[in-house]
Chain A
Amino acid sequence: MFVRSFRKLMSVFLVLGLVAGMVACKPTITREDPNSVKDLSGNWNDTDSRKVSQEMIQDVLSQRWLSKYTAKHNQMPTVIVGKVRNLSHEHINTRTFIADIQRALINSGEVSFVASSKERTEIRKERMDQDLNASEATRKAMGNEAGADFMLKGSINTIIDAADGDQVRFYQVDLTLIDLSSNRVVWAGQQKIKKSVERSGIRL
Chain B
Amino acid sequence: MTIHSLLMRTILLSSVFLSLFLTGCMGLGSKAVSMQAELAAGRVSNALAIAENENSSEDEVLASLNKGMLRRMKRDYQGSNQIFEVAKKNIEELYGVSVTEQAGALIVNDTLRSFSGDRYEQVLLHAYMAMNYIQLDDFDSARIEMKQAEVKMMEWGDDPEDDPFVRYLSGMIYEELGEKDQAVISYRQAKDVYKSTSQKQTFGVPTVLKMDLLRSLANEGFDDEFRALKKELKMKKFKPEVLTKGFGELIVILNSGLAPVRKEVSISAVTNEVTDTVKIAIPSYPDPQQRFSARLSTNHKLVANLELVENIDGLARAALNNDLPIITTRAIARAVVKHKTQSTVEEKGGALAGFLATAFNVVSEQADTRSWITLPQTIQMARVKLPVGMNKVNIDIYNASGRLVDRIEKEILIKSGKSSFITEHWVAPNMSLVVMADKNRKL
Contacts and interface: CB of A to CB of B under 8 A. Distances in A.
A91 interface: yes
A34 interface: no
A86 B144 contact: yes
A96 B143 CA distance: 21
Interface in B88-140: 92, 94-100, 140
A165 B144 contact: no
Contacts of A164: 155, 157
Contacts of B96: 165, 199-203
B144 A203 contact: no
Contacts of A89: 144, 147-148, 150-151
A167 B151 contact: yes
A4 B274 CA distance: 36
Interface in B133-181: 140-141, 143-144, 147-148, 150-151, 154-155, 157
Contact of B157 (A6, A158, A163): A163
Interface residues of B, number: 22
B1 interface: yes
B3 interface: yes
A78 B1 CA distance: 89
Contacts, number: 59
A88 B3 contact: no
A106 interface: no
Contact of B155 (A2, A162, A202, A203): A162
Given A89-B148, A91-B141, A163-B155, A203 B99 contact: yes
Given A91-B141, A162-B154, A199-B95, A6 B147 contact: no
A29 interface: no
B6 interface: yes
A18 B98 CA distance: 24
Interface string A78-122: 000000011111110000000000000000000000000000000
Nearest to A160: B151
A133 interface: no
A104 B122 CA distance: 42
Contact of B92 (A41, A88, A91, A202): A41
A85 B144 CA distance: 11
B100 A204 contact: yes
Contact of B144 (A90, A160, A163, A201): A90
A88 B144 CA distance: 6
Contacts of A6: 6
A3 interface: yes
A88 B147 contact: yes
Contacts of B141: 86, 91
A202 B100 CA distance: 10
B3 A2 contact: yes
A203 B99 CA distance: 6
A3 B148 contact: no
A76 to B, nearest CB: 33
Nearest to B2: A3
Contacts of A165: 95-96, 155
B6 A3 contact: yes
A3 B1 contact: yes
B99 A167 contact: no
A174 B89 CA distance: 28
Nearest to B147: A89
Contact of A86 (B6, B92, B99, B140): B140
A162 B147 CA distance: 12
A91 to B, nearest CB: 6
Contact of A3 (B3, B94, B97, B99): B3
A158 B1 contact: no
Contacts of B95: 165, 199, 203
Interface string A188-204: 00000000000111111
Interface string A150-189: 0000000010111111010000000000000000000000
A204 B99 CA distance: 5
Nearest to A2: B3
Contacts of A161: 154
A163 B159 CA distance: 11
Contacts of A160: 147, 151, 154
A201 B155 contact: no
Contacts of A90: 144, 148
Contacts of B92: 41
Contacts of B94: 203
Nearest to A90: B144
Contacts of A87: 140, 143
Nearest to B114: A203
A137 B64 CA distance: 57
A160 B100 CA distance: 32
A162 B151 contact: yes
Nearest to B140: A86
Contacts of A91: 141, 144
Contacts of B144: 86, 88-91
B217 to A, nearest CB: 23
B147 A158 contact: yes
A200 B94 CA distance: 11
B180 to A, nearest CB: 15
B98 A167 contact: no
A35 B257 CA distance: 52
A-B pairs, 5 with minimum CB distance: A89-B147, A162-B155, A203-B96, A163-B157, A201-B96
Given A167-B151, A204-B98, 20 more contacts: A41-B92, A87-B140, A87-B143, A88-B144, A88-B147, A89-B148, A89-B150, A90-B148, A91-B141, A158-B147, A160-B154, A161-B154, A162-B151, A163-B154, A163-B155, A200-B96, A201-B96, A202-B97, A203-B95, A203-B98
12 contacts: A2-B3, A88-B144, A90-B148, A160-B151, A162-B151, A164-B155, A165-B96, A165-B155, A200-B96, A202-B98, A203-B97, A203-B99
